[in-house]
């Protein structure tokens, strides 16, 4: 399968920031909206500010808003990492320091490429998958790729689940909880849990504290999937995991499985506390739809955000384009997010699922639409912020003076407070001195 592209402080932050707010109506006194003219900085640079000599992707920000992790094949960001292979880096936004995270415990850089980075809430732990053979001892010679966790405080790098068998380990796509305890991942291995006999890629969660592994790509009664399940995303609080599956894991009220476009990738959410699996993208009649691109859970796991070109999710969806939606996993209500402030439908596709602030108020997403905000004339994908209370929409992938980007932007990631946003862009006019002509990672203070 091809891969997709201390704890206490974090827990306190989560408790203080994850109040559930409704997706409609309601006023919140004093809540600030994203600002129009905020500082923009480039993230994928060396500690001295040298710009990367290759593109950077997969940017993610820690919940506390201080650290950003990204992936790049650049050879000029840190000493010793001069071979052209994809590596995982962390940028400290407070100090400007850039460090290599895809390293062995002795600091040696990975000897093969690494991808799919995910960072804990305080930036201490970085999870990633890699083909490297030198990141942990006693690797099975046949292992192709595996999931690793690097502790930036102790320097230790460990394989997430050691392979003690004879079969190669094919585990990938890690997603780590804010406290660093839980890591969701997908794997072809059949020895991680008892009774894994489906011969398919499944989604699992590893409890790093207890050293246990649980399969989550199952029905609510525990039956295993009959199709591939991939691309997990764990909520910041570690309570729920969203993933895509070729199986229909939920039977609607009518009693028959009803996933539109059979064998398409449906979105599911598994509750680790209750064992319930539910649709993340339910239609109005209880079925499910195929999901396009990236997706996410809100930090508290209440909302699933995704994109789809289906017109069966909400009423009056007639634009014939992919839109971004938010599903309230408690009420089952689905809301279309990618609309203008007056409710007008987007005139072009919106995708990459979106990410949500911890107050469940602001959603950041990517769209090619030109009618979500006035003056959008650049003809490329931009990143937008949607206020779910007021309905206001703002384009946030702009320069500090408000100038629109001259290249496409996407891949938003936001901190818990919804104040610091990172995104990627091919534009060269967002910051001064951008002359490397590659896709870069940027950070913007939006509130």
Burial zone of 30 (CB within 10 Å; 0-12 exposed, 13-18 middle, 19+ buried): exposed
231 sits in which H/E element: strand 229-234
Question: Sorting pLDDT into bands at 50, 70 and 90, what band is 316?
Answer: very high
- H helices present in 4-142, as ranges: 7-17
Query: Which regions of 337-437 does DSSP assign to beta strands (E)?
Result: 350-356, 362-367, 382-387, 393-395, 409-414, 420-425
Could you report the per-residue pLDDT of 428-440, keeping only the tens digit for each? 999 999 999 999 9
Could you report the per-residue pLDDT of 267-309, keeping only the tens digit for each? 999 999 999 999 999 998 888 898 977 899 999 999 999 999 9
Best mean pLDDT range from 24-38, 252-266, 285-299, 338-352? 338-352
pLDDT mean across residues, the chain: 89
Question: Sorting pLDDT into bands at 50, 70 and 90, what band is 142?
Answer: low
**Helices (runs of H) and strands (runs of E) counted in the chain:** 1, 28
How many angstroms from the chain centroid is the CA of residue 357?
13
DSSP state of 98: E
User: Is residue 8's pLDDT more than 90?
Assistant: no
The arrangement of strands across the sheet holding 334-336 comes to 292-297, 303-308, 323-328, 334-336
Q: What pLDDT was estimated at residue 166? A: 64
Q: Which of 81-85, 205-209, 311-315, 346-350 has the lowest mean pLDDT?
A: 81-85
What gap in Å lies between CA 86 and CA 54, rounded to an integer?
A: 10
What gap in Å lies between CA 186 and CA 232, rounded to an integer?
A: 7
Query: For 69, phi and psi rounded to 5 degrees?
Result: -110, 145
Q: What pLDDT was estimated at residue 290? A: 86
Could you report the per-residue pLDDT of 390-416, keeping only the tens digit for each? 999 999 999 999 999 999 999 999 999
Could you report the per-residue pLDDT of 114-138, keeping only the tens digit for each? 999 999 999 999 999 999 999 988 7
Residue ranges per structural domain of the chain: 10-42+337-447
- Burial code (b: 16+ CB inside 10 Å, e: under 16) for 60-94 equals bbbbbbbbbbbbbbbeebbeebeeebbbbbbbbbe
């Amino acid at each position: 399968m091809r891969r997709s592209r201390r704890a206490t402080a974090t827990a306190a932050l989560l408790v203080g920031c994850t109040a559930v707010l409704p997706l409609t109506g309601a006023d919140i006194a004093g809540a600030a909206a994203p600002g129009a003219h905020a500082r923009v900085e480039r993230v994928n640079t060396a500690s001295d500010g040298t710009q990367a000599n290759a593109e950077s992707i997969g940017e993610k920000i820690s919940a506390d808003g201080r650290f950003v992790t990204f992936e790049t094949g650049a050879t000029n960001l840190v000493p010793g990492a001069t071979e052209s292979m994809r590596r995982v880096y962390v940028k400290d936004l407070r100090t400007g320091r850039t460090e290599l995270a895809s390293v062995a415990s002795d600091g040696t850089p990975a000897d093969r490429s690494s991808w799919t980075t995910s960072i804990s809430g305080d930036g201490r732990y970085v999870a990633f998958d890699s083909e490297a053979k030198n990141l942990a001892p006693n690797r099975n010679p046949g292992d192709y790729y595996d999931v690793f966790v690097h502790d930036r405080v102790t320097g230790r790098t460990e394989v997430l689940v050691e392979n003690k068998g004879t079969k190669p380990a094919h585990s990938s796509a890690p997603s780590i909880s804010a406290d660093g305890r839980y890591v969701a991942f997908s794997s072809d291995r059949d020895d991680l849990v008892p009774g894994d006999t489906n011969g398919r890629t499944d989604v699992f969660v590893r409890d790093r504290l207890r050293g246990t592994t649980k399969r989550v790509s199952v029905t609510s009664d525990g039956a295993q999937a009959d199709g591939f399940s991939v691309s997990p995303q764990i909520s910041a609080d570690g309570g729920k995991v969203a993933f895509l599956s070729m199986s229909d894991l939920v039977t609607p009220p009518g009693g028959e499985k009803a996933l539109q476009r059979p064998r398409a990738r449906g979105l599911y959410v598994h509750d680790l506390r209750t064992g319930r699996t539910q649709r993340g993208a339910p239609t109005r009649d209880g079925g499910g739809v195929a999901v396009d691109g990236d997706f996410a859970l809100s930090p508290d796991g209440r909302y699933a955000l995704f994109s789809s070109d289906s017109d069966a999710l909400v009423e009056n969806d007639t634009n014939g384009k992919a839109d971004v939606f938010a599903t309230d996993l408690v009420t089952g209500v689905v809301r279309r997010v990618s609309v203008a402030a007056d409710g007008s439908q987007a005139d072009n596709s919106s995708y990459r699922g979106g990410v949500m602030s911890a107050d469940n108020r602001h959603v950041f997403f990517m769209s090619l639409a030109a009618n979500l905000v006035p003056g959008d004339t650049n003809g490329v994908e931009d990143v937008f912020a949607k206020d779910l209370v007021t309905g206001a929409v703002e384009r946030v992938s702009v320069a500090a003076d408000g100038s629109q980007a001259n290249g496409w932007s996407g891949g938003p990631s936001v901190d818990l407070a919804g104040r610091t946003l990172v995104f990627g862009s091919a534009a060269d006019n967002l910051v001064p001195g951008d002359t490397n002509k590659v896709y870069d990672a940027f950070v913007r203070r939006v509130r």
